[in-house]
Structures are given as C-alpha cells and as structure tokens.
C-alpha cells in the first residue's frame, strides 16, 4: 500500500529525457528540470521503463502503485479500462488533442493549448506551399537524375501555382486556425472560414477574412481547405463523401489536425474512381502509423493520376524541439497543479476537458 503522498504514473521517460536533447534551448531544458524537481518533491513519480508500454503494462503499473494521476501523450492510448481504475483522479496529456483519452466521470483531463499553435500553423503553411509549388516532386525529380542535358529551362516547363488569386478556406478558427490567419493574411488572398462561432474581432483585424456559416459553401469556393478542428464524436468523418465531392478540381486538402476527421475510405474511393481530383497534404492519418494497405492505395492512385500531388508526413507538425519541450513542461506543470489541488479553485487556471 502507498502512503499519503500522491502517486503520478508517467507513460514514458521522454517527458524528462527531452531536456537532454541537444536541440532544446537552455531555457526550456531549465524549465523541464525545474518542474520535474517540483513534481518529485510533492509526489511519488513512477515512470514506464519503455516509451510505449503496452496497455497491460500500463494497467499493471497503475494498479500496483495505486497511481492517482497519469501523464501521457498522443502515442499512449488511455481507454476506459485505465481511467476507470479506482485510484485515478486525473490524466494530463502533453498534446492539445485529447481523443486518445477516454473521458470518465470524476476524472480530470488536461491538455496543453497555447503551446503548439504557432508551430503547427507554420507547418501547415509549409505543406501548402510545398504542394502548390510541387517542391517535393521537383526535388525528387532532380535527385533521381531526370534533369538531363536535353532539358533546358523553358517558359512552360514545371509550371505550378502560387497563392495569388486563391481562396484559402479554414475549417475551425481556434488557436491554430487563428495563427494560420495571422500568417497568411498579409499575402492579400481571400481567407474564408467556418466555425461554430463567428469571430467579428478577427474579421475586423483582418479585412480579407470572411465567415461562412454554411460549411458546404466553404468547400465549394476554396482552392485550399485546411482542417483545424478537434476530433470527437461530432467531428469524426466530418469531411466525408458529401464535402469531398464539393471541392474544386485541383483544390488542395490539408490536414494537420486529426486523421479521423476525414473519411479515408471515402477519399480513396472517390480518387480511385476519378470522381474527385484534389491534391492532398496530410500530417495526420486515421490510423497511425499509416497502414501499408492504405499507403499502397494512395500509391496506386498517384501512379494512375500523376497530375495529383500528395505530401504525407508522419505526424510531426509540432516537431520543433522547443515546442516539444514546452509541451512536456506544461504537462508536468499540469500534473503538479493537480497533485497540489484540494478544491476546484486550485485548478481553475488549467485547461480542463471538458471545462468545469
């Protein structure tokens, strides 16, 4: 049996070890080590031996140590059988998304908003520009030795499209969506957005930003559609056959949010049958890592339709060293706050899912 000191179970040693990464700035190394020290002062910290313990290993460790709190990230699934363990009082994730955690009555859940919005927005824009200008394809073209002596520069060779005169559609004007707007508004392009709430403040600040109450209209008029909504029961497969069919020919669909927002099966089917003709730039997938069969299906589409451009990256939009360090530090800080708390007032500053 444990004593009166609360117990925290960390699903990975990475939350402290990231401070040792040479790419992390001294400021954030210090931040992690400080909050780590504070947490170990007020709680007994039990850390998983591996970075990705199995569900059985997590459950055994939590039950044997009668853990009160869990620290995790999106790579750790925390299902009902974990959060329903009697000793569990709260779960802190280092991500802003929480769809890997089962929401259980009486168990607090915290995430890390405000930490990764700018980094994710930068990555989103990088994917857009890389796809529009076919940078990945042209890079591969050169390195594969296809730029031969008989191929000289000419006016109509390797033509792509820049952002001028395009309509950029944003689905979800939360933290990340707003950061995207801040970055692309100076380009002077028309930015359309759909959200459950209209933001008159953002529209006043950015005159080229327009609200579309009808999400179907957003998909119809946009040359680029990027997704910035959370994944939950209401948004699962939100972008399905109906919205996909509305997209303009050669429009670009960008997803740095969560893979389950898109109905992958419908997307593959419509591309295979040539009922839609859209480019893709995805950093997230419905199942991660992306299953070989799914990847092969996209390969086959590209082989039959070389006019389309697909850029896929392995869920790394937040992969800036300092951003990842801040994510860890914020999660550890949230655990500190929950360990210290004796009433709701003590955790009112935390971002709770759902809010109290």
pLDDT tens digits, residue range 318-355?
999 999 999 999 999 999 999 998 887 888 888 898 87
Q: Which stretches of the chain score pLDDT less than 70? A: 1-3, 356
Is 355 inside any structural domain? no
Q: How far apart are CA 97 and CA 284, in angstroms?
A: 12
pLDDT in tens, 265-321: 999 999 999 999 999 999 999 999 999 999 999 999 999 999 999 999 999 999 999
Q: DSSP character for 262?
A: B
Q: Do residues 232 and 263 share a domain? A: yes
Is 254 inside any structural domain? yes
Contacts of 54 (CB under 8 A, 6+ apart): none
Q: Do residues 125 and 244 share a domain? A: yes
Query: Domain range holding 70?
Result: 7-115+320-347
Is 354 inside any structural domain? no
Q: Do residues 184 and 284 share a domain? A: yes
Q: How far apart are CA 258 and CA 16, in angstroms?
A: 26
Q: Do residues 124 and 68 share a domain? A: no
Q: Do residues 262 and 129 share a domain? A: yes
Is 2 inside any structural domain? no
Q: Do residues 56 and 197 share a domain? A: no
Give the pLDDT score at 3: 56
Catalytic sites, residue numbers: 258, 288, 315
Q: How far apart are CA 356 and CA 352, in angstroms?
A: 7
Give the pLDDT score at 1: 40
CATH code, domain with 65: 3.40.50.720
**DSSP string of 172-221, one letter each residue:** --SHHHHHHHHHHGGGT-EEEEE-SS--HHHHHH-TTEEE-S-HHHHHHH
Q: Do residues 159 and 204 share a domain? A: yes
pTM of the model: 0.94
Q: How many domains is the chain built from?
A: 2
| 142: alpha, beta or left? (left if phi > 0; alpha if psi -120 to 50) | alpha
Q: Do residues 297 and 284 share a domain? A: yes
Give the pLDDT score at 150: 86
Is 228 inside any structural domain? yes
Contacts of 63 (CB under 8 A, 6+ apart): 85, 87
Q: Do residues 54 and 124 share a domain? A: no
Q: What would the two tokens of residue 133 be?
A: 């200008």
Is 173 inside any structural domain? yes
Q: What would the two tokens of residue 238 be?
A: 């939100």
Q: Do residues 267 and 131 share a domain? A: yes
Is 356 inside any structural domain? no
Q: Do residues 110 and 121 share a domain? A: no
116 closest CA partner among 73, 68, 166:
73
Q: Do residues 147 and 100 share a domain? A: no
Is 141 inside any structural domain? yes
């Amino acid at each position: 049996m444990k004593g009166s000191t609360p117990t925290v179970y960390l699903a990975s040693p990475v939350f402290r070890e990231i401070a040792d990464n040479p790419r992390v700035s001294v400021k954030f190394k210090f931040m992690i080590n400080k909050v780590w020290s504070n947490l170990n002062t007020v709680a007994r910290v039990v850390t998983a031996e591996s970075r990705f313990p199995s569900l059985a290993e997590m459950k055994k460790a939590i039950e044997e140590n009668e853990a009160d709190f869990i620290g995790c990230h999106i790579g750790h699934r925390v299902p009902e059988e974990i959060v329903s363990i009697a000793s569990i009082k709260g779960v802190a994730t280092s991500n802003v998304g929480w769809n890997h955690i089962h929401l259980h009555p009486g168990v607090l859940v915290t995430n890390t908003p405000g930490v990764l919005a700018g980094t994710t927005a930068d990555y989103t824009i990088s994917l857009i520009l890389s796809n529009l200008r076919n940078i990945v394809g042209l890079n591969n073209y050169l390195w594969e030795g296809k730029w031969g002596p008989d191929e000289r520069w000419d006016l109509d060779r390797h033509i792509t499209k820049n952002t001028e005169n395009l309509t950029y559609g944003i689905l979800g004007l939360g933290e990340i969506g707003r950061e995207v707007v801040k970055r692309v508004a100076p380009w002077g392009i028309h930015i359309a957005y759909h959200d459950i709430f209209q933001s008159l403040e953002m529209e006043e600040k950015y005159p080229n930003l327009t609200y579309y109450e009808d999400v179907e209209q957003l998909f119809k008029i946009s040359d680029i559609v990027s997704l910035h909504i959370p994944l939950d029961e209401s948004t699962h497969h939100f972008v399905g056959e109906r919205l996909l069919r509305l997209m303009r020919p050669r429009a670009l669909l960008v997803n740095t949010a969560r893979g389950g927002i898109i109905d992958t099966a419908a997307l593959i089917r419509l591309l295979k049958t040539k009922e839609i003709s859209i480019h893709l730039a995805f950093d997230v997938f419905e199942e991660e890592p992306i299953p070989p069969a799914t990847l092969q299906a996209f390969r086959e589409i590209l082989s039959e339709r070389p006019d389309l451009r697909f850029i896929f990256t392995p869920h790394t939009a937040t992969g800036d060293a300092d951003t990842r360090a801040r994510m860890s530090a914020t999660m550890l800080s949230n655990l500190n706050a929950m360990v210290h708390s004796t009433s709701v007032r003590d955790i009112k500053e935390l971002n709770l899912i759902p809010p109290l």
